[in-house]
């Protein structure tokens, strides 16, 4: 995200509240909220959605076992960080038009919790 790199202060000002939510993100609440996600993101081979273990730090659309990525997600020039995940989850199709990931999480605090939970999957 070029904007992120070029204007960190502006971004921090704009997303100040979101950053706060990250800091306070509660992985236990995130795990509960993940019931919204786990029917598709089961983490099993053959699931209809990619395994999210290790998603933070990974390029979008690059989970090696998942064959059903859209071209839109595969060709998106995005690496998953707390910031990009939050933007994506807020309204996936707005960030990456054409993605079949269609579950928006409008609540900022809930996004922070979910991301805190996803981070625990990286360990």
Least distance (Å) between residue 13 CB and ligand HEC: 26
CA distance 67 to 61: 10
**Residue recorded with tokens 């360990």:** 123
CB closer to ligand HEC, 3 vs 74: 74
CB closer to ligand HEC, 41 vs 82: 41
CA distance 115 to 123: 13
CA distance 123 to 105: 24
Please give the residues from 31 up to 60 whose contact with ligand HEC meets the rule CB under 6 A. Answer: 36-37, 39-41, 48-50, 52, 55, 60
CA atoms within 13 A on the CB side of 54: 10
- Give the three-class secondary structure for 59: strand
Least distance (Å) between residue 95 CB and ligand HEC: 11
- Give the three-class secondary structure for 43: coil
Please give the residues from 62 up to 81 whose contact with ligand HEC meets the rule CB under 6 A. Answer: 63, 69-70, 72-73
- Which residues contribute to the site for ligand HEC (CB under 6 A)? 36-37, 39-41, 48-50, 52, 55, 60-61, 63, 69-70, 72-73, 85, 89, 99-101, 103, 105, 114
């Amino acid at each position: 995200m070029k904007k992120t790199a070029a204007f960190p202060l502006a971004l921090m000002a704009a997303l100040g509240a979101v950053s706060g939510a990250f800091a306070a993100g509660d992985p236990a609440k995130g795990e509960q909220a993940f019931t919204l996600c786990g029917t598709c993101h089961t983490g099993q081979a053959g699931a209809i959605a990619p395994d999210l273990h290790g998603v933070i730090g990974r390029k979008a659309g690059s989970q090696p076992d998942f064959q059903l990525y859209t071209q839109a997600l595969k060709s998106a020039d995005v690496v998953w960080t707390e910031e990009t995940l939050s933007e994506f989850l807020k309204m996936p199709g707005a960030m990456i038009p054409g993605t079949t990931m269609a579950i928006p999480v409008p609540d900022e605090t809930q996004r922070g919790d979910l991301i805190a939970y996803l981070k625990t999957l990286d360990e």
